[in-house]
Amino acid sequence: MTITLHHLENSRSQRILWLLEELGVDYRIKRYQRDKTTSLAPPELFKVHPLGKSPVITDGAITVAESGAIIEYLVDQYDTGRLRPAAGTSEHLAYTYWLHYAEGTFMPLMIISLLMGKVESAPMPFFIKPVARGIVSKVRSGYLDQNVRRNLDFMESSLDQSTWFCGEDLTAADIQMSFALEAAEVRTNLSADYPNLAGFLERMRALPTYQAALKKGGPYQLMGVTK
């Protein structure tokens, strides 16, 4: 069976590419471009999975969507015990936590932030602008900013004592967290305010497998920043 990664440009799919490189398995990449105006995925992705999102993989007759599920599937099938800590250990509990946290808690905040930015910059009649800006400002001050800060503080302190999120060894949960931190990096001053998180990104970018994934994936421009 050959694994196919259905790879949408500038997307979470980059983390699966990195995982595939870490696993050292054979795979092929099918590329998809975002719509130039809306940034949405093209209709061809709906032929792979009904939600039309990326990442999604096919492995023979099997189709798996959702980053966390794809990671679990690939680790189950192809890892040799390196990228997921042994069941029953505290590292495994941390692994499960961060694997779910990235998409369950942190990424929704990044999406709200992205959408608020889009509302602020959307073309609209001049008399609507103050209303739209007022709503965005309320969402930011009443909910978003404090939650983003609390989560960044929490992630930062979680890396006080360890190199990676589950200890001294890189796990697939770190790969899941990579996109969350890359998304945070474009909206906050990570290197000044969150040295542990900036250090994580630096260590990750120095890994040959991360670099190989970047090379295979092509230009990677995350919400305005070229990597």
Interface ranges with ligand GSH (CB under 6 A) = 8, 11-12, 40-41, 53-55, 66-67, 103
Find out whether the peptide bond into 219 is cis, omega within 30 degrees of 0: no
Q: By C-beta, is 11 or 158 nearer to ligand GSH? A: 11
Strands 62-65 and 225-226: unpaired
CB of 179 to ligand GSH, least distance (A): 7
CB of 211 to ligand GSH, least distance (A): 21
Q: Measured between alpha carbons, how far is residue 25 from residues 17, 63, 75 in Å?
A: 11, 17, 11
CB of 48 to ligand GSH, least distance (A): 11
Q: By C-beta, is 54 or 113 nearer to ligand GSH? A: 54
Q: By C-beta, is 196 or 220 nearer to ligand GSH? A: 220
**Cα 50 from Cα 46, distance rounded (Å):** 5
Q: Where are the alpha helices (DSSP H) in the chain?
A: 13-23, 67-78, 90-101, 107-121, 129-139, 145-158, 172-185, 190-193, 195-206, 208-217
CB of 107 to ligand GSH, least distance (A): 7
CB of 103 to ligand GSH, least distance (A): 4
CB of 57 to ligand GSH, least distance (A): 11
CB of 87 to ligand GSH, least distance (A): 23
Q: By C-beta, is 119 or 131 nearer to ligand GSH? A: 119
**Cα 140 from Cα 134, distance rounded (Å):** 10
Which contacts (CB < 8 Å, 24+ apart) does range 139-145 have? 139/112, 140/116, 143/112, 144/109, 144/112, 144/113, 144/116
Q: Which residue is nearest to ligand GSH (CB)?
A: 67
Q: By C-beta, is 46 or 154 nearer to ligand GSH? A: 46
Q: By C-beta, is 199 or 214 nearer to ligand GSH? A: 214
Q: By C-beta, is 41 or 175 nearer to ligand GSH? A: 41
Backbone φ/ψ region at 84: left (φ over 0), alpha (ψ -120 to 50), beta = beta
Beta carbons within 10 angstroms of residue 32's beta carbon: 20
**Cα 200 from Cα 140, distance rounded (Å):** 27
